[in-house]
Amino acid sequence: MTKTILITGCSSGIGHHAAHALKKRGWQVLATCRRAEDCARLQEEGLDSFVLDLADTASIEAGLAETLERTDGRLDALFNNGAYAQPGAVEDLPTDALRAIFETNFFGWHTLTRGALKVMRQQRRGRIVQNSSVLGFVALRMRGAYNSTKFAIEGYTDTLRLELRGSGIHIALLEPGPVRTRIRENSRPHYERWIDKENTVWRDFYKTMLEPRLYAEASAARDPGELDCDATTKAVIHALESPRPRLHYPVTTPTWAMAAFKRVLPPRAVDRIAARI
């Protein structure tokens, strides 16, 4: 029987690549996006796509209902991937900016996961992959909002894993480091909306350090150790198809390195390393 998977955030990057790869492997892929125009493009690419906006509870519920209608009520896997970044120093983040990013990057995932678990509990089986980040266990400057959502996802997933023991449902954390996606470009509107860059002690830093990278062409703003999305897709496939999936899937050398630093170095030493990035 064809296995079914619901993936969020498929307009580009990790979700887009995984959706196409899993379809080629014979999965029935429900590739969702926040915007209807992106769904239309994915349909032209041959994917089964419809709208699911993680910031809208009604859209999440409708998206899950649409999924189950198209799969005859089955859901073998969920890949929680849709998220965005919010550049800016913590002290410059309005509380509403944090509320907004948590709505998409955390609360929306929770709503969708609860709905998926009801189906998986009835089936007594299922796989859930959570796209976290190296920033889920190591904080970097100017990424406080995104760091916070990914740290929250790590704790949430670790707790849920304990509660799912013996259920036949496996949950894994994907932890990418620098991967070639549109996350930087997609974060620009959020920076422009929420950060008052002219009235802050960080004004010069924004102009000389943050903005040149934020607005640089993708080819000129690559990070050390950056990989293509096929690296994350390989990890997702293992998490979904292996008889013994792992709990954590670090991807990229920087992720492995930071995990090692966290294990062996004192916190102040890790801070000195992170402050240089």
Written as one letter, the residue type at 99 is: R
Sequence length of the chain is: 277
Confirm whether 146 is a catalytic residue: yes
In the set 146, 156, 191, 206, the catalytic residue is 146
3-state secondary structure 31-85: EEECCHHHHHHHHHCCCEEEECCCCCHHHHHHHHHHHHHHCCCCCCEEEECCCCC
Which token pair is 192? Answer: 């422009």
**Other Cβ atoms within 10 Å of 225 Cβ, number:** 14
Alpha helices in the chain (DSSP H): 13-24, 36-44, 57-70, 95-102, 108-123, 144-163, 183-194, 203-205, 211-214, 230-241, 253-264, 267-274
Cα 157 to Cα 97: distance, rounded to the nearest angstrom: 24
Phi, psi (rounded to 5 degrees) for 169:
-105, 125
CA nearest neighbour of 184 among 208, 149, 220: 220
Just list the catalytic residues.
146
